Amino acid sequence: MYLSDLTKNQQAKVVRVGCERALACRLADMGLRKGAEITVKPDAPLGDPMHLMVLGYDFTLRKKDAKHIVVEVL
Amino acid sequence: MKKFTIALAGNPNSGKTTIFNNLTGAHQHVGNYAGVTVEKKEGICNYCDYELNIVDLPGTYSLAATSLEEIVSRDFLIDTKPDVVVVVLDSANLERNLYLAVQLIEMKLPLILLFNMCDVSKARGIEFDLARLSKLLGAPIVESIGRKHMGMDKLKKTIVKVAEAQSIPEVKIQYGDDLEKEIYNISKLLEQYETNLIKHYPAKWLAMKLLDHDLDLQKKITSQEVLAQLKKSTTIIEENYGDYPEIAIADMRYGFISGACQQTIKQTIEKRHEISDIIDAVVTNRILGIPIFLFLMYLTFQFTFTLSEAPMGWLESFFGWLADFISSLWPANSHSDLKALLVDGVIGGVGGVLVFVPNIMLLFLAISLMEDTGYMSRAAFIMDRLMTKVGLQGKSFIPMLTGFGCSVPAIMATRTLENRKDRLITMLVVPLMSCSAKLPIYMLLIPAFFETSIQPQVMFGIYLLGVFLAIICAWILRFTIFKGEITPFVMELPIYRMPTLRGVLIHMLEKSWEYVKKAGTVILAISIILWFLSTYPKKTEFSKNYDILIEQATNIADKHELENQKKAELVEYTLASRVGKLIEPVIKPIGFDWKIGTALIGAFAAKEVFVAQLGIVYSEGETDEDSQSLRDILKQSYGSLVAVCIMVFCLISAPCMATIAVTIRESGSWKWGAFQLIGLTVMAWIVTFIFYNVGMFFSWGVS
Ligand SMILES: Nc1nc2c(ncn2[C@@H]2O[C@H](COP(=O)(O)OP(=O)(O)OP(=O)(O)O)[C@@H](O)[C@H]2O)c(=O)[nH]1
């Protein structure tokens, strides 16, 4: 299951971050790394980007990039 | 008096600016870090017998050197060795905020952890065991509520204590055996081969940062032995850990943080940012999101234009009064070049720009309100999908909106775009957002050539054309010069907050100040130059002897007519007109004559000058956008097609000098400034050419 497949209010645990290096590193800095728990909030009105919550704060990520993040639904 | 240097570090939105303002009050100044365009804020805080020089570092999430801000912060901390580093943390969002703190612990600097936003964390039912947490993190913790000035005394006291004792965090972050071993291997080689570098950077830390994929530091390494070892170590870690070393390091840091937090933080009630969630549910709602966004944009402009009308009128009268007052210092009817320079050149030029200050201030007030409440990042979130379609991204939205006020702060606002390509594209197209300096041109021409009923539509059409062209240009740039993927859109959506009056005002004034500064410097200089160009050389021999004829004239109308003829001859003789005539062949195909050309030269310097300059060539003397007589003359001379062409040309063509100057500064190269100048001017010519010829073909507005 990929992060991009999740819909609002679903919760998931990150299994693998397969993004390219710079982004993977940036996401790790922001707390989105293997083992982190993610809550998905409603997408932007036009369907993209996604609105995510990690470590208790909110941030955005495009579906295109979320496609490379493997998750396990909780 | 003892002096200490204190650095303020922290994540964006942690309340750093608020704390900085609390500590320094009005004693601050803003500059740039040497050689780069990252803003450097400094201020003095006097406490007991100490003078604390507070430096506000840029807000960052990490010190990974992936952005200019991060490199600047890191270099400042290493080079200046501040006596104390205060890390401002959003205590309601502690884990992520501590990530930066951990990197400062790694740097072995005397630290203070400021747990800001205590009110928010209390409301969410978070309880800290501060004594234990402080021990685990190795640094004193002070609690504060920045917006209520709470905790500031304790903070100052702790700063002095730590600065005197120079106490460094004694904790050690455990990176695990593999990493530790490789760090050790690299640091040994560093000590051996990079003796100069390690005088500057501690070897262990440098080794860790090299593994952390800090490309900026990697560039500084010259020894092949070190680079070979780095490569080897990287491969080993990748094999053992199954991920890049920098991700392994991030994991260890977060491991350290959660270890410390688990033992010391209790969440008594499970209460998240309820209010924020509710607002988001409405504001970014699938159906309501876009209408709300459009409504807020509409409100912003409505608010800006209606409320600024009155104060703009007052400023106009003030400058009128000032001009009269200065004229009255000379005997009536006398002619003095100095008087003309002061009245027509300086007051006419600078005053004409300053009149727009209320407009700019209100627009920035609205923008600051949106920023400080947290709505602005939602606007970027909502717009991202559309913006990516044209090769921009959500964050470009903020500079573009600011561009309707003034391109100068708008181009400075592109600093939030961390990718250079995104930033350059945004910077280059921002001038197409019709700034408020172009407004007087529209306000002069539209009432002169169009019926009252369609005036608003014409105005709206011009603005829309600008937006449309900006989109096209961004799209073209993205697929030609700036080819490449659009950068990922990882942006924090901070919780909604009630803005404070002080915060919003400071924000607004900082931005408006840029505009005023431009009026005081660039425009002042240009006004003076233009005045000279349109005054000299002075014609002394005329085709008729006007002085005698004027004296002989029997009625006022004849007298007036003769005076105007004389002025016209004078004007035609000046350098400005000669240049206007020189460029006439170039602008003829787009429907302009030399008179418009002369005014365009003025507009080249600053858009605001166009109207005044047109007044001079038509010998109308003092003119502004309300000048009815100038409108009448224009109406006699041109058709409405030419009026549209003038507006289109001014909308697109080379932005003012100040904009070019900022583009050069912010892009770090004069080439981009030149590119913007030439590109926009050529495009203006082409678009106007199309407008003119299509219009001529159908005989629209040709009178
Ligand atoms: N509730 C609460 N709000 C605070 C506190 N301190 C600051 N704020 C608010 O938090 C918001 C962000 O504060 P800033 O000082 O602008 O934060 P910053 O870290 O400088 O953020 P950037 O300018 O984006 O880097 C503002 O609306 C402040 O009024 C606090 O202790 N409690």
Q: What is the pLDDT of residues B45-97, one digit of tens each?
A: 888 889 999 999 988 899 887 777 888 888 899 888 899 999 999 998 899 99
Ligand 1 center to residue B10 CA distance, Å?
11
Q: Which residues of B259-270 are buried (b: 16+ CB within 10 A; e: fewer)?
A: ebbeebbeeeee
Nearest to A45 among B250, B286, B388 (CB): B286
Q: Does A58 touch chain B (CB under 8 A)?
A: yes
Ligand 1, atom 14: nearest CA belongs to which residue?
B15
For residue B579, give how far its alpha carbon lies from the nearest alpha carbon of chain A (Å): 51
- B117 token code pair: 């936003």
Looking at residue B160, its pLDDT comes to 92
Residue (of B137, B146, B79) closest to B115 by Cα position? B146
Give ligand 1 pocket residues (Cβ under 6 A). Answer: B 10, 12-18, 59, 116-117, 119-120, 145-147, 372, 497, 499-500, 503
Q: Whose CA is nearest to atom 6 of ligand 1?
A: B146
Given CB atoms, is B251 within the 8 Å cutoff of chain A? yes
Asked if omega into A49 is within 30° of 0 (cis), the reply is yes
Burial B152-169 (b: 16+ CB within 10 A, else e): beebbebbbebbeeebeb
Q: Which CATH class is domain B2-165?
A: alpha beta
Query: In the numeric block, which tokens belong to residue B485?
Result: 């993927």
Residue B124 main-chain phi, psi, to 5 deg: -90, 5
Output the pLDDT for position B443: 83
| Whether A51 and B95 lie within 8 Å, measured CB to CB | no
Q: Do domains B2-165 and B177-267 have the same CATH topology?
A: no
- What pLDDT was estimated at residue B118? 92
Q: Does B489 touch chain A (CB under 8 A)?
A: yes
The average confidence (pLDDT) of chain A is 91
**Widest distance between CA atoms in chain B:** 105
By most ligand atoms within 8 Å of CB, the mutation choice from B60, B73, B147, B504 for ligand 1 is: B147
Q: Which residues of chain B have pLDDT under 50?
A: none
Residues 6+ away with beta carbon under 8 Å from B487: B393, B418, B419, B421, B422
A56 contacts B95? CB cut-off 8 A: yes
CATH of domain B177-267: 1.10.287.1770
Give the per-residue pLDDT at B626. Answer: 63
Among B202, B385, B379, residue whose Cα is nearest residue B294: B379
Beta strand ranges found along B154-292 (DSSP E): 265-267
Check CB contact of B385 with chain A, cutoff 8 Å: yes
Q: What is the pLDDT of residue B32?
A: 62
- Asked if A25 has any chain B CB less than 8 Å from its own CB, the reply is yes
* DSSP bridge pairs for B112: B86
Tell me the shortest Cα–Cα distance from A2 to chain B, in angstroms. Answer: 17
Looking at residue B698, its pLDDT comes to 85
Residue B666 falls in which region: left (phi positive, over 0), alpha (psi -120 to 50) or beta = alpha
Task: Note whether A31 contacts B99, CB cutoff 8 Å.
Answer: yes
Q: Which residue has the higher pLDDT, A44 or B340?
A: A44
Q: Does B532 touch chain A (CB under 8 A)?
A: no
Which residues have a Cβ under 8 Å from the Cβ of B217 and sit 6 or more positions away? B65, B201, B206, B209, B210
Name the residue with the closest Cα to ligand 1, atom 17.
B15
Q: Could you name the CATH architecture of A3-73?
A: Roll (2.30)
Across residues A32-52, what is the average pLDDT? 91
| Domain residue spans of chain B | 2-165, 177-267
User: E strands along B429-533, which residues?
Assistant: 491-492
Please give the pLDDT value at position A48: 85
How far apart CA B323 and CA B356 sit, in angstroms, is 18
Q: At B41, is the secondary structure helix, strand, or coil?
A: strand
- The ipTM value here is 0.95
- The residue of chain A with its CA nearest to that of B496 is A58
Q: Retrieve residue A16's tokens.
A: 């693998």
Contact yes or no for B493 and A33 at CB 8 A: no
Tell me, in angstroms, the distance from the centre of ligand 1 to residue B97's CA: 14
CA distance B110 to B671: 43
Domain ranges of chain A: 3-73
Residue whose CA is at the smallest distance from ligand 1 atom 4: B147
Is there a contact between B284 and A44 if contact means CB atoms under 8 Å apart? yes
Nearest-CA residue for ligand 1 atom 2 is B117
Please report the pLDDT score of residue B279 as a whole number: 92
In this structure, chain B runs to a length of 703
Q: Do A57 and B492 touch (CB under 8 A)?
A: yes
By three-state DSSP, how is residue A73 classified? strand
Retrieve residue B287's tokens. Answer: 């159906």
Contact B287 A46 (CB under 8 A): no
End-to-end CA gap in chain A: 12
The closest of B418, B425, B524, B539 to B471, measured between CA atoms, is B425
Type of residue at B188: K
Which amino acid is it at B92?
Answer: A
Q: How far is A5 from chain B (nearest CA, A)?
A: 18
Contacts of A46 in chain B (CB under 8 A): 290, 382, 385-386
Q: Confirm or reject contact between B209 and chain A (CB < 8 A).
A: no
